[in-house]
Structure 1
Amino acid sequence: MKGAFADNERIFSQHVQNHLLPDHTYSVVSGGDPLSIPDLTWEQLRQFHATYYHPSNARFFTYGSFPLEQHLKQIHEEALSKFQRVEPHTAVPAQKPWAEPREFQIACAPDPLAQGSSGQTTVSVSFLLPDITDTFEAFTLNLLSSLLISGPNSPFYKALIESGLGTDFSPDIGYNGCTREAYFSVGLQGIAEKDVQTVRDIVDRTLDDVIENGFEDDRIEALLHKIEIQMKHQSVSFGLALTSYVASCWNHDGDPVELLQLGSQVARFRTCLEENPKFLQEKVKQYFKNNQHKLTLSMKPDDMYSEKQMQLEAEKLKQKVNSLSLEDKQQIYKKGLELQAQQSQPQDASCLPALKVSDIEPRIPFTEVEVALAAGDTPIQYCAQPTNGVVYFRAFSSLNTLPEELRPYVPLFCNVLTKLGCGGLDYRELAQQVELKTGGLAAAPHVLPDDAHLDTYEQGVLFSSFCLDRNLPDMMRLWSDIFNDPCLEEEGHFRVLVKMAAQELSNGVPDAGHLYAAIRAGRTLAPAGDLQETFGGMDQVALMKRVAEETEAGPALRKLQRIQAHVLSCDSLRCSVNATPQQMSRAQDAVESFLQSLSRSKKERKPACPHVVEKSAPEASGGRSGVTRRLVTDPTFRPCQMKTHFLLPFPVNYVAECVRTAPYAAPDHASLKILARLMTAKFLHAEIREKGGAYGGGARLSYGGIFTLYSYRDPRSTETLQSFLRAVDWARSGWFTQQDIDEAKLSVFSAVDAPVAPSDKGLDRFLYGLSDEVKQAHREQLFAVRHEDLVDVSNRYLGAGRSTHGVALLGPDNASIARDPSWIIR
């Protein structure tokens, strides 16, 4: 929990809930406040578990095409029949409404990536809403919340975000239906402390304006269109998404079936609007304007916050130790030795149901695609799939001609490209059309390793979108306008977007610190590593913070305009379409029309990279050649070791060590992939999480051949690096059984054979040039991995001095690292 509360957004959201619902279970931290956890006794924990982690307090959810009767029989035989029914008394009472609004102020740690603390205050206004078991009222208020805050056309975006007072909306903004009674929050972060009252006044004025003027019909239709397309979009996690969607309402004795009947909810909503045009305005007046159960929470940074938390923790520990008798201490020591011994014993997994490797299908189902050329020589991959009336479009544009000094700005270019307007549309009109006609337009930089060579990769921007088949021409017209006439001159909204993007990146570091550490640790191991750090590492976070703090937007916009010339043309572009067979002909016409509208360079640009090679994907299943990838290779590259410590005022660490190994197509890659799962399950989990106290840790192998050992929210740092060394020694020694290997293979195959949504079929071929034949060969290599193969790759790649290693650490000051000249301190 200390790691969770290293995140200021998490602290703020937790206090909103605790203060808005103070009379019962929501007034406390469900996972335990770090300073309160030491007060928990073993008996309290045991009794809590026996009472609430009990079948009498459970909801059972199954999803799929399996016979329900068998599931019910198994649930009864293996769970319900083994327990006596108890009454856990888990019903949450209604929160007593307030007679008048309340205010609170809390403290947090300063943002370590910001300059100064003058603009780091957060404030929000929250309102208690009705019980979530009233499913139609909950549906209405959820939709109303989206109308109030979503996108640049929403009232609160215009009033708060575009005011320039802050950097982004406050955490936990909008409708929250996870508690018995829902609540709505809105506010700003990144403001000056003096502007707290100004933000509160803006919230009140905006609500008054909505009550007076209501919402435009097109905005309501856009949200209803969003619901329609979400109902048709097929996700591989559809069953889990349903579970998550119904859980809160069902746990509070609401009707989950009624909750899932979105079609009838939409129809009833439309009827209410037709019968009463001021239906939504009256809801705003009822639940916001006239609601006295209103909380204003502000949070400001305290330079001594971390030190104060450490002092409170030290005092708590001292108090606990001083209260112990000599006998207590001896007992604790004895229990500690018993725990250590138990953690070191292999666990008996024989009671768990398990597949066998022989149960796994030996061959993968092949996906048929066809590739055709359009607009001259632009390849388009067509993949016919049962997409439920939705068309999915992607385009990949190479960055090989882009000058080196512009590359750090590619993520910013992608972030703002679809949000600044295009053609004859300003940014508000574009946002409205995107919501009315598509499921969203997105652009993102990608670094795609080659399957055969560690020092070869492809760099580019992936554009993606989807829409209902009836809206395909409109979606492609939007892309045509974005490619041909993007608005990259409008400084006002650009500055708003930059501040929001920088704030989101900064806020995301505590949640994804292990990923940032891994990107940095792999930076010097392969040529693609440095570009990955540039696009998505700590260097990108720091750059965005600098750009957000610049007083002039012109220099950054001029860089984006230069990037435009290299990315938004038919040069080095390839496309893909996934749609139903019946829609494919229409989709082909729409995409070809889009390509014909694009410009081409009058003269061929020279690549900015020294060595560019073209590589065609293997022949597609439909009999035509695959798309061509334009790969970058650097024969002069030499990997080198680097150790970096990012000093951040977190109470925990994020540690990563990366090793250069083998590419996807090499037989060793399969052995290393099995080894990563084996080391995670049989060594690293016990050492790093169970013994070391980290929230998580393990090993993984990237498609590009970088083997990563990592820990997440870790109270240790250099000690964890020693655990990594012991993990390698363990693997080299071969201290694992055939059953251990089989379990690791099952774990790997669970990922390899994970369901693929119709929208993503053929995507590996389109992006990476991976044919089904290559994936089948890799599958056979996974099956063939033996004990001696695992020991062999452990020795050849992971052993000291065998391969180049990189290390990175995000976390607090460390005296031993500070004294070590081999570390770079950032």
Structure 2
Amino acid sequence: MFVGTLLKLRLFFRSVRGREAWRPKTTSAPDRAMQYVIGQKIHGFTVQEVTAVPDLFLTAVKLDHDVTGAQYLHAARDDSNNLFSVQFRTTPMDSTGVPHILEHTVLCGSQRFPCRDPFFKMLNRSLSTFMNAFTASDYTMYPFSTQNAKDFQNLLSVYLDAVFFPCLRELDFWQEGWRLENENPTDLSSSLVFKGVVFNEMKGAFSDNESLYAQNLQNKLLPDHTYSVVSGGEPLTIPDLTWDQLKNFHSTHYHPSNARFFTYGDLPLEKHLKQIQEEALSKFWRTEPNTAVPSQIRWNKPREAHVNCAPDALAPDPAKQNTLCVSYLLGDITDTYEAFTLSFLSSLMISGPNSPFYKALIEPKIGTDFSSAVGTRDASFSVGLQGMAEEDLERVKGIISQTIDYIIATGFEEERIEALLHKIEIQMKHQSASFGLALASYIACCWNHDGNPVQLLKITENVSRFRQCLQENPRYLQDKVQHYFKDNSHKLTLSMKPDEQYLEKQIKAEQEKLQQKILALSETDRKDIYEKGLQLLSEQSKTQDTSCLPELKVSDIDSTIPCTPVQMGTAGGVPVQYCEQPTNGMVYFRAMCNLNTLPEDLKIYIPLFCSVITKLGSGELDYRQQAQQMELKTGGMFVTSQVIPDTADLDLYEQGVLLTSSCLERNLPGMFQLWSDIFNSSRFDDEERLRVLVMMAAQELSNGISSSGHMYAMTRAARSLTPTANLQETFSGMTQVTFMKRIAEMTDVTSVLRKLPRIKRHLLNVDNMRCSVNATPQKMADVTVELERFMDNIASTRKERKPVRPVIVEVINQASVNSSSLESDHDSNPNFKPCQMKTYFELPFPVNFASECVRTVPFTHEDYASLCVLGRLMTAKFLHGEIREKGGAYGGGARMGGGGLFAFYSYRDPNCSQTLAAFRKGVEWVCDGKFTQQDVDEAKLSVFSTVDAPIAPSDKGFGLFVNGISDEVKQAHRERLFAVMRKNLIDVAGRYLGFGQSTRGVAVLGPENESIKKDPSWVVK
């Protein structure tokens, strides 16, 4: 996976999470780790530092490997979701994508595990909670996490052998990187074309204008070393990479002397060190890899540059598609306190409606949103706009300069500073189910350049020092702005505008590159390419012997799920679910408000309503004051649309909006007061504010299609199959994208503004509501009091009519929520009739996103579990090979959805017709029984890795609250999963997925496709 450049500077500790033990022990993992002493020798490593990090409730142990110099950091914390990662500093000097292609290729087989694709095979042989690999601009990381100790050892063996002892076979290089091959590998007379997974992935990546801009920004701001090239690979430069260059890059960069190991969790450190030493490091000696990245030489005067991009067919305003930002190169990221200060300063400058750049750039409606920035060896700050008219480019440059002068002159309000410091406190206390992964990602960049990762974790120290600096010098932040921005000559102004011929030029350039390669071929070369293509196809078609790989057994999975106790009650007549959890001093509140009484013509406005209702102001607070209070009192307040399928009937569902917020225990009254104001006195009188929010929302939707096209394809393919999917597509599919584009193009949004209070009257009233709260046992009594007060405050929203949802009170007070009893509480559309539909969206992408969905059975049906296992089986044993390995798509597979829809999909796919055929072949493959019970058991493991994924205390009981899925219902589903046999999969494949057996929908998003256009069975958009 190519990570590429990062978007604009944010608070570095955005994802770091809090405290409580996940499984109790007599002695905690942090306490055990504190027993290590500096200088202690452990399995070839020497302890260099042992530091308690109370901010994060962990102990950090830093070690060096005696022989190779490999660096090691262990974060001991009472969390059963243990994580391992190894990262290498990878600093390419060309844009062939060598680190990215190497990342893919090392996972294709190794000395101990020579089968093809052990990485993907292990997805079905473990209970991993995360497995992946990332290529950033200057490092490559290989992380995994799991809650099972045996699984951890298995995956560690596979990862160590993959990165240090890969096979790096030429055929794997061709498949994952690039190759010349006959378009039809079995037809020597067919045209030669470029193929390769990374080649197609990067074509897809650069079809996203934001990614294109961010990459150019990095290349031009840091032009003197590795950041001047594309580490992921420039598509037309990738074909210049040779197999020998790939192997040489591995030998110099993937050495323990260039490695940084990180482990996290409650498993013993000694076992990790022993396994890493015995299986990998004992076979190496120290080298001196020349991979360090020098600090960029500073310019003596600012620079300007320009790039072109493809027009965005879904842009809110077709006449406003220009992007411009001004970027400043700042300080060394290894200075952790200075980096903290600059990150904090950047948030003050650009985050939220109270920031000076938001006021100066967004509110005048010159553009739609901030543009991107980069994350590298030296920190940088970038600010600008996208969605601008060309004539406004010079104006924006002036505004940026004037805003910096304004900040230097006036500084920042104390309340604004306190709001951001409160945000840091919230982020430290909030717990995440994937804390280890967040921690590994957080320290990666700084540690990669020899910064101290332990120092990076001492958040409270940085905050205290920051407060001290502010106290000693009231102009502390203004002086920083003067130094890093006003007086900084290393400044780049980069503009980007659409070129109508951009895609044609890209296609022409690829054809020219292809012809250049072809013209250099002799007849012998052509024959060799054909034979190698057949050889690769043969290898891809072979059944792999995976007996060399370690594995868990289905018997290793717990037979029962741990129960989550909840208490049911009411507050002001509203049903409330109370869930006592170790939330580390946080309170989590949710409320579901249904849409049952909302007129049909207003439903398409629901996503817009959700995105703006907490941003328009309420009560005595205008939108800026409201935003400030939210940052001071909460961890965020959000409203999202929900379409919840019934667990027993495909034609029933619940439609509503979900209110979500969190706060520190001391701020509970403040959080509920903010919600009370939204319920009682939301402001709908600011048309200019609404227009700004509409433009930002439309731009965000448009930007997201190129990176999430497979989700849009699946949503669209499902639309005609169930009323649930139909409404989901209205809320979150291409229908919503095009609807928001139309609103953004309106010159007068008064008619839209008038609809919002109508929607609010139907949604935000206590008759339509049920709530849930997660908090510590000690605080739950106080929460109950505040919740009662909140209900009293919003009682005026109660309509003088019988409650719309009388059943929910009865249902939610049952210890076990029976899905069938929710039927009368759910909506159904009596006019909806499932039908076949094929939809094609022609978009300016060089690759496709395709999906086919089939209507099957609901969650509680006896066949649902078999269909879940079937999706994993087909993905791992058939579709992965057909779509990715043979077809060259970045990804593809099948999965069973909660709404009773079985979905096939592909991602960044060069050939949708071949993929659609592969979907059908996959069904035939299953019906022919070309798999074993062992394959079925592996698919079960993959399903259980998701079913048993760790759940943060904030989310315990959430499934019961939202879906009505109790622990008893989950246990019944679990037992059906255990019982799935080979014959069950053949049976359900024939019964539901066979052509003509069930209603299905198809959708493709992608470039011009004449064969689809000429086919009358397709609806062309």
TM-score tier (shorter)? over 0.9
Is 2:521 aligned against 1:324? yes
Alignment of 1:125-274 (within 5 A): 125-172=326-373, 176=374, 178-274=375-471
Q: After superposing the two structures, state which structure 1 stretch, 85-94 or 267-276, moved more.
A: 85-94
Assess if the C-alpha contact under 8 Å between 2:765 and 2:799 holds in 1. no
Is 2:550 aligned against 1:353? yes
| 2:791 match: secondary structure | helix
Assess if the C-alpha contact under 8 Å between 2:593 and 2:657 holds in 1. yes
* Corresponding residue for residue 379 of structure 1: 575
CA separation in 1, counterparts of 2:785 and 2:469?
A: 40
CA separation in 2, counterparts of 1:58 and 1:6?
A: 33
| 2:216 match: secondary structure | helix
CA separation in 2, counterparts of 1:660 and 1:513?
A: 21
Task: Compute the displacement of 1:637 (Å).
Answer: 3.7
CA separation in 1, counterparts of 2:943 and 2:554?
A: 11
* Corresponding residue for residue 713 of structure 2: 517
Distance 1:4 1:48, change over 3 A: same
Alignment of 1:685-696 (within 5 A): 685-696=880-891
Task: Compute the displacement of 1:83 (Å).
Answer: 3.5
CA separation in 1, counterparts of 2:555 and 2:372?
A: 48
Assess if the C-alpha contact under 8 Å between 2:761 and 2:797 holds in 1. no
* Corresponding residue for residue 15 of structure 1: 216
Task: Compute the displacement of 1:627 (Å).
Answer: 11
* Corresponding residue for residue 479 of structure 2: 282
* Corresponding residue for residue 731 of structure 1: 926
Task: Compute the displacement of 1:628 (Å).
Answer: 6.8
Alignment of 1:393-432 (within 5 A): 393-432=589-628
CA separation in 2, counterparts of 1:261 and 1:345?
A: 52
Alignment of 1:357-368 (within 5 A): 357-368=554-565
Task: Compute the displacement of 1:87 (Å).
Answer: 2.8
Assess if the C-alpha contact under 8 Å between 2:679 and 2:797 holds in 1. no
Q: After superposing the two structures, state which structure 1 stretch, 295-304 or 160-169, moved more.
A: 160-169
* Corresponding residue for residue 90 of structure 1: 291
* Corresponding residue for residue 434 of structure 1: 630
* Corresponding residue for residue 3 of structure 1: 204
Equivalent residue in structure 1 for 2:1010, among 809, 815, 824 = 815
* Corresponding residue for residue 780 of structure 2: 584
Give TM-score scaled by structure 2 length. Answer: 0.79
* Corresponding residue for residue 750 of structure 1: 945
CA separation in 1, counterparts of 2:704 and 2:810?
A: 37
Equivalent residue in structure 2 for 1:800, among 987, 990, 995 = 995
Q: Percent of aligned pairs with the same residue? A: 62
* Corresponding residue for residue 551 of structure 1: 747
**Alignment-mate amino acid for residue 769 of structure 2:** L
**Alignment-mate amino acid for residue 695 of structure 1:** Y
Assess if the C-alpha contact under 8 Å between 1:699 and 1:710 holds in 2. yes
Task: Compute the displacement of 1:49 (Å).
Answer: 2.3
| 2:294 match: secondary structure | coil
Equivalent residue in structure 1 for 2:585, among 376, 389, 392 = 389
Equivalent residue in structure 2 for 1:638, among 833, 836, 849 = 833
Assess if the C-alpha contact under 8 Å between 2:764 and 2:797 holds in 1. no
Give TM-score scaled by structure 1 length. Answer: 0.97
Assess if the C-alpha contact under 8 Å between 2:643 and 2:727 holds in 1. yes
CA separation in 1, counterparts of 2:575 and 2:656?
A: 16
| 1:571 match: secondary structure | helix
**Alignment-mate amino acid for residue 215 of structure 1:** F
Task: Compute the displacement of 1:194 (Å).
Answer: 1.2
Is 2:913 aligned against 1:712? no
* Corresponding residue for residue 336 of structure 1: 533
Uncovered stretches (5+) of structure 1, i.e. residues with no partner: none
CA separation in 1, counterparts of 2:322 and 2:222?
A: 23
CA separation in 2, counterparts of 1:73 and 1:418?
A: 53
Q: After superposing the two structures, state which structure 1 stretch, 288-297 or 624-633, moved more.
A: 624-633
| 1:355 match: secondary structure | coil
Task: Compute the displacement of 1:614 (Å).
Answer: 6.1
Equivalent residue in structure 2 for 1:699, among 872, 884, 894 = 894
CA separation in 1, counterparts of 2:366 and 2:944?
A: 50
Equivalent residue in structure 2 for 1:667, among 854, 862, 865 = 862
Is 2:663 aligned against 1:467? yes
| 1:299 match: secondary structure | strand
Task: Compute the displacement of 1:337 (Å).
Answer: 1.3
Task: Compute the displacement of 1:649 (Å).
Answer: 1.0
Equivalent residue in structure 2 for 1:740, among 929, 935, 960 = 935
**Alignment-mate amino acid for residue 47 of structure 1:** N
* Corresponding residue for residue 737 of structure 2: 541
| 1:63 match: secondary structure | strand
| 2:262 match: secondary structure | coil
CA separation in 2, counterparts of 1:266 and 1:60?
A: 28
Is 2:286 aligned against 1:64? no
Is 2:877 aligned against 1:682? yes
**Alignment-mate amino acid for residue 598 of structure 2:** L
Uncovered stretches (5+) of structure 2, i.e. residues with no partner: 1-201
Distance 1:626 1:464, change over 3 A: farther
Distance 1:636 1:406, change over 3 A: closer
**Alignment-mate amino acid for residue 159 of structure 1:** A
Assess if the C-alpha contact under 8 Å between 1:657 and 1:709 holds in 2. yes
Aligned length: 818
CA separation in 2, counterparts of 1:193 and 1:114?
A: 15
CA separation in 2, counterparts of 1:472 and 1:625?
A: 33
Deviations 1:774-816 (A, max 9, x none): 0000000000000000000000000010000100000111111
CA separation in 2, counterparts of 1:73 and 1:714?
A: 42
**Alignment-mate amino acid for residue 137 of structure 1:** E
Assess if the C-alpha contact under 8 Å between 1:155 and 1:206 holds in 2. yes
* Corresponding residue for residue 309 of structure 1: 506
Assess if the C-alpha contact under 8 Å between 1:458 and 1:632 holds in 2. yes
Task: Compute the displacement of 1:86 (Å).
Answer: 3.1
Task: Compute the displacement of 1:330 (Å).
Answer: 1.8
Assess if the C-alpha contact under 8 Å between 2:619 and 2:682 holds in 1. yes
* Corresponding residue for residue 106 of structure 2: none
CA separation in 2, counterparts of 1:423 and 1:785?
A: 56
Q: After superposing the two structures, state which structure 1 stretch, 595-604 or 312-321, moved more.
A: 595-604
* Corresponding residue for residue 776 of structure 1: 971
Assess if the C-alpha contact under 8 Å between 2:838 and 2:1017 holds in 1. yes
Assess if the C-alpha contact under 8 Å between 2:370 and 2:384 holds in 1. yes
Task: Compute the displacement of 1:619 (Å).
Answer: 6.0
**Alignment-mate amino acid for residue 385 of structure 1:** Q
Is 2:792 aligned against 1:567? no
Root mean square deviation of aligned Cα: 1.8
| 1:721 match: secondary structure | helix
Assess if the C-alpha contact under 8 Å between 2:575 and 2:812 holds in 1. no
